[in-house]
Amino acid sequence: MRLHSASMSELHAFVTVVRTGSFSRAAEELCVTQGAISRAVARLESHYGKVLLRRSAHQMVLTQSGEQLLEAVREPLAVIEAASEALRVGPSQTMELVLSVVPTLASVWLVPRLPDFQARHPEVRVRFVPYRKDEDFSGPTPHAAILTGLGPSQWPTWECDYLIGREVVPVCHPARAARQRWRRPADLVAEPLLAHSTSPGNWAQWLRAAGVEGMEPELSTVFDQVSILIQAALADMGVALVQRCLVRAELEAGRLVTPFDLPISLQRGYFLCRLPGRHTAASLPVFRQWLLEMARQDIGSMPV
């Protein structure tokens, strides 16, 4: 059978040039000469019979064919590289993955799932470093961070994968729901509304998405940690708007209830973020794949 794929070295050269934005930096990273990188990309273009990169003195731009190839091979190459490193280090050695994660998501959602990752990939040791709200990947930093925000529109120079957290739901103590017996989402405006300090506009967005027009909610109490926001709802201080993934256990146990279980998603969510070309870890691609799988499973089990 005739193989249509190019060689691994040529594909690695191409992906590294695109990621670093420079033939010289790609050569330095791959421990070869700049000429070797240029020849590898030229062989790749000859193999496919298409121009992949348009180069000038000041910039380098991917063609449509180059974008198509990059999208197809970037992640598979990273996974192959991680698997190759794991085989070379052997079962008695480990690869380290350093993470920074929003504390509430780490304790409620990520850590309970980590034994599954460790069972699948015993060669990877996950180490957590303190979370920074203003993470900018400068100085000594983690390989990746799971942050809350708007994703690529907020961090345009980073590589970001949406995980979970856009799916929000109003929750309250069961006794409050029994007392009030709300009939429509607009009835919640009269309640003490609890919110998070990083997203005080979530209530207004949720009400609009629920079909409530012309009503501006007045927030009762704003907290700077989601864990405290959830505790406030458990203490019957009011109605909190929170990410469903963070209150699944409370809802299933009946400690909290949702007066209106609507499939509403907002803009903010949790993203796996990393800075291209720096602080890379061979174990990151397999962790990313696993993390996306866990998120898909959780979102798939939510009401629609």
Check residue 38 and give its pLDDT.
86
Q: Which residues, at least 6 apart from 167, have a Cβ–Cβ distance to it below 8 Å?
A: 243, 244, 245, 263, 264, 265, 299, 302
The tally of domains found in the chain comes to 3
Distance CA 220, CA 174 (A): 19
Q: How remote is the C-alpha of 135 from its chain's centroid?
A: 14
Q: CB under 8 Å, gap of 24 or more: what pairs does 16-21 form?
A: 17/41, 17/53, 17/60, 18/53, 18/62, 18/66, 18/70, 19/276, 19/277, 20/277, 21/60, 21/277
In a domain, 141, yes or no: yes
In a domain, 2, yes or no: no
Tokens of 175: 């006794």
Share the mean pLDDT of the chain: 87
Same domain, 226 and 275: no
Check residue 304 and give its pLDDT.
64
Q: Which three-class secondary structure state does DSSP give residue 150? A: coil
Where is average pLDDT lowest: 134-138, 170-174, 213-217? 134-138
Q: Which residues, at least 6 apart from 293, have a Cβ–Cβ distance to it below 8 Å?
A: none
Check residue 7 and give its pLDDT.
84
Q: Is the pLDDT of residue 89 over 60?
A: no
Full-model pTM: 0.71
In a domain, 211, yes or no: yes
Tokens of 267: 């803009």
274-285, pLDDT tens digit by residue? 887 655 677 888
Same domain, 185 and 261: yes
In a domain, 3, yes or no: no
Same domain, 35 and 16: yes
Residue 257 sits in which domain range? 167-265
| Residue 283 phi, psi (nearest 5) | -80, -10
Same domain, 128 and 199: no
In a domain, 113, yes or no: yes
Q: Which of 62, 89, 116 is the last residue of a domain?
A: 89
Q: What is the CATH number of the domain that holds 47?
A: 1.10.10.10
Q: What is the CATH number of the domain that holds 237?
A: 3.40.190.10
Q: Is the pLDDT of residue 255 over 90?
A: yes
90-113, pLDDT tens digit by residue? 554 568 899 999 999 999 999 999
Q: Which of 46, 65, 89 is the last residue of a domain?
A: 89
Same domain, 255 and 119: no
Same domain, 153 and 174: no
